[in-house]
Structure 1
Amino acid sequence: MLDRDQYIEKAKAKLDEWNAEIARMQAKADAAEADAKAEYQKQLDEMREKRDEAEARLTELRNASDSAWTDMKAGFDTAWQNVSNAFENAMSRFR
């Protein structure tokens, strides 16, 4: 099992990966024709929303007291999985 700092760093690394993917998709959207650009932008907005939700949850977890860490981690794991699935789903529709 990962300790608290390792756990947070792993989640942060995933957010960095998502940010890179959003930047890649933004470049693709910028080069798209007008009709496709609107759909790409919609998917990008959804991806950013999910990324922002994950960042907010990570901040809550990072700021949790030691006594609340275990309880919050369990809730974070579930929420993180839901956000991750939604982000991946939005990303797959973009391709």
Structure 2
Amino acid sequence: MTEREQYIDKAKAKLDQWNAEIDKFKAQVAGSDADAEIEYRKQLDEMRNQRDKAEAKLKELHDASDDAWDDMKSGFDKAWDSISSAFDNAMSRFK
């Protein structure tokens, strides 16, 4: 497996983890009172939005040519850090 494939697989694994977190919190929403449910749904929407952004960036990275890989990877790392921080921030509101 190439370094590129390993890098992409690692990012996909993180997305899978985020999806599991979203599913877990979705179950919490179902068992909460009406006021909390409204707030939880907002946070879930934010988590999904950040996950979708990360998936889009990962697709761009995956589709990048070999020549563009290094530049794309650098841009992806910066975007990933920002998206990851926003996702974690939204997730922390559930705890």
Q: Which TM bucket (shorter chain)?
A: over 0.9
- Structure number with higher helix proportion: 1
Deviation by residue 1:37-70 (Cα, 9 ceiling, x = unmatched):
0000000000000000000000000000000000
| Residue 14 of structure 2: aligned partner | 14
CA distance in 2, matches of 1:66, 1:87: 29
Is there any run of 5+ residues in structure 2 with no aligned partner, and where?
none
Point out 4+ residue stretches in structure 1 off by more than 6 angstroms.
Answer: none
Work out the percentage of aligned pairs sharing the same amino acid: 63
TM-score calculated relative to the size of structure 2: 0.97
TM-score calculated relative to the size of structure 1: 0.97
CA distance in 2, matches of 1:88, 1:52: 14
CA distance in 1, matches of 2:90, 2:45: 9
Is 1:49 the equivalent of 2:22? no
Aligned residues: 94
Q: What is the RMSD of the two structures over their aligned residues, measured on CA atoms?
A: 0.8
